[in-house]
Structure 1
Amino acid sequence: MTRYFFHVRDGQALPDRIGTVLPSLVAAKQHAVHLTGQLLKDDTGAFWNGEEWHMEVVDEAGLVLFTLDFIATEAPVMRVERRVGEERKE
């Protein structure tokens, strides 16, 4: 069993100082996806500010095993629509 650390960077560094003991790299990948889903589910909308965020998974020696990268990008029509809506509010 190996201890894996799931560090998040979303404009600020959120290091996982405790880690999670899992039986394999496959289990660590599954845990990373599950954890990411929870983070996105609990997000209050900050994810949509256009900044990328990352989950970096490392082992006990600090070796980066894999990274999950996320960014939300609205289609250009949505950006135009939002600007038009903002102009109407004025």
Structure 2
Amino acid sequence: MPRFYFHVFDSAAVLDPEGAELPNWQDAQSHAIRYMGEILQSNAKLIDWHDDFHMDVTDKTGLLLFRLDFSIVRSVALNYTSGLISSDASPMSAVASRHGEPSDK
């Protein structure tokens, strides 16, 4: 049975030294999704979403078979200094100001 390795990358690399024996790459893909779900659930507050966050799944030779990418794309409506939507501007005025258009305030 083939062995697959599940390497996780964020600000550091966590390489899988043991891997898992699974019947085929399709089962390895399902395993990777479940495993990443466990990582996300138990470490959600620790993950720095500004970093590249992904999992590489390789075979025993190190050949990359597939990659799972995770990211958060924040709306321009967010005020990045406080992490909250600005109370003095609507989301549309934030979009308008980024495009140099007057807002409807």
What SS does the aligned partner of 1:69 have?
strand
Q: How does 1:45-84 map to 2 (within 5 A)?
A: 45-47=45-47, 49-80=49-80, 82=82
The percent identity for this pair of structures is 32
More helix by share: 1
Q: How does 1:1-90 map to 2 (within 5 A)?
A: 1-47=1-47, 49-80=49-80, 82=82
Structure number with greater CO (CA < 8 Å, separation at least 6) is: 1
- The CA distance in 2 between the partners of 1:52 and 1:7, in whole Å, is 13
CA RMSD, Structure 1 to Structure 2 (Å)? 2.1
Q: Give the residue type in structure 1 aligned to 2:13.
A: A
Q: Which runs of 5+ in 2 are unaligned?
A: 86-105
- The CA distance in 1 between the partners of 2:9 and 2:17, in whole Å, is 14
Give the greater-gyration-radius structure (CA): 2
Q: Give the residue type in structure 1 aligned to 2:62.
A: G
Return closer, same or farther for 1:75/1:13 CA change in 2, 3 Å cut-off. Answer: same
Q: How many pairs align? A: 85
TM score, norm. by length of structure 1: 0.81
Do the aligned partners of 2:10 and 2:48 also contact (CA within 8 Å) in 1? no
Question: How much does 1:53 deviate?
Answer: 0.7
